[in-house]
Amino acid sequence: MKNTSIVRLSLISSIVGLTLLYMSAASINPGVTPISEIDENYIGLKTKISGEVIKTRKHSDGHLFLQIRGKDYNKIRIPIFAQTNSNLNEKIELLDNIEIKGEVNEYRGDLQVTPQNSESIKVVKSAPINISKISKAQAGEIVRVRGYISEKNKNKDGSYSIIIKNDGNKIKAHIPKEIASSSKFEMMRESTLIQVGGPLELRKGEIAIKIRNPHNIRFETSK
């Protein structure tokens, strides 16, 4: 075969092949997948999921690890690597609703969805709950509240208990020693406007928020 024929044939084949691949790829772009449907068969595939943030953990290297819960109450892990995390316009907090487009992969036996960049993450901020609406029956649920620190007490084991007050209602928040010893905690003074999130727990018959990570504390303005 002459060289010009090979060139023509190769060019035509390349363009036809690319067109077919493009058309096929565009037609199988995914919509939002329910978390309950994601299993081993999804590994390596790109998918879109949405849910409520129920756990956050910030790594010292800047990575943020989330656990989100879908409408179907199934949970999945979302690792957001440092660079992606630093490019996010908004801080992701407990109970925010997020939509993630990313690849499903397996990490130490668990499935996770890894967003490729900050543009693959859409955050819909949720408002903090009114303290007056919290009751003992909600123990175990995750809440986020906003208010002023009215008391700050150090416990014998090095942990702290703070009272958060808003519109005449108050709630206790428990801060474990390892978080209380962080430099961030030094900013916490009485009358500081604060937002905290975490699970509700019953302590000596009293309902309190357990703060599990410094990421779940946000300081706002002071009085």
Partner 1 sequence: MIIYLLYSLLGILIGSFTGLIPGLHVNNIAPILVSLVSGTQLDTYQAISLIVAMMTTHTFLDFIPSTFLGVPDKNTALSVLPAHQFVLEGRGYEVIKFTALGSLGSLIISTVMVGGLVHIIGPIYKIINPYMHLLLIFIVAIMFLLEDSWKKRLISLGIFLLAGFLGLIVLNSNLVPGNSGLMPMLGGLFGMSVLIVSINNENTIPQQKISNKEIEVIPNTKPIVSGATAGFLTGVIPGVGPAQGTVLSQVLTKTEETKDFLIGVSGVNTAKALLSFVALYAIGRPRSGAAVAVHNLIEKIGLNDLLFLIGISLFVGGLAAVLHLKIGKLAAKNIEKLPYKPMCLAVIISIIAFSVYYAGLWGILILFTSTSIGLLPPSFNVKRTHCMGVLIFPVILFFSGLETPILKFLGL
Q: Which residues bind partner 1 (CB under 8 A)?
A: 1, 3, 6-7, 9-11, 13-15, 17-18, 20-22, 24-26, 28-30, 43-46, 61, 83, 103, 105, 116-117, 119-120
Q: Which is nearer to partner 1, 102 or 128 (CB)?
A: 102
Q: CB of 212: closest distance to partner 1 in angstroms?
A: 22
Q: How far apart are CA 41 and CA 104, in angstroms?
A: 9
Max Cα distance, the chain (Å): 89
Residue with tokens 């008391």: 151
- Closest approach of Cβ 103 to partner 1, in Å? 6
CA distance 13 to 69: 46
Of 78 and 211, nearer to partner 1 (C-beta) is: 78
Cα-Cα-Cα-Cα dihedral sign, residues 109, 112, 117, 118:
negative
Closest approach, Cβ 184 to partner 1, in A, equals 24
The minimum distance between CB 88 and partner 1, in angstroms, equals 14
Cβ partners under 8 Å of residue 39, min gap 6: 111
- Do residues 21 and 29 make contact, with C-beta atoms less than 8 angstroms apart? no
- How far is C-alpha 66 from the geometric centre of its chain's CA atoms? 4
> Residue 29 or residue 135: which is nearer to partner 1 going by CB?
29
Distance CA 165, CA 152 (A): 12
Q: What minimum distance in Å lies between the beta carbon of 175 and partner 1? A: 28
Q: Which is nearer to partner 1, 83 or 181 (CB)?
A: 83
Please state, in angstroms and rounded to a whole number, the distance separating the CA atoms of residues 149 and 142: 20
**164 neighbors 149 (Cβ within 8 angstroms):** yes
User: Is the CB of 22 or the CB of 73 nearer to partner 1?
Assistant: 22
Cβ at position 13, least distance to partner 1 in Å = 3
Q: 12 vs 187, which CB is nearer to partner 1? A: 12
Q: Report in angstroms how near the CB of residue 91 gets to partner 1 at its nearest.
A: 21
Radius of gyration of the chain (CA): 24
Which one, 6 or 202, has the nearer CB to partner 1? 6
Q: Please, what is the Cα angle at 95 between 118 and 123, to 5 degrees?
A: 25
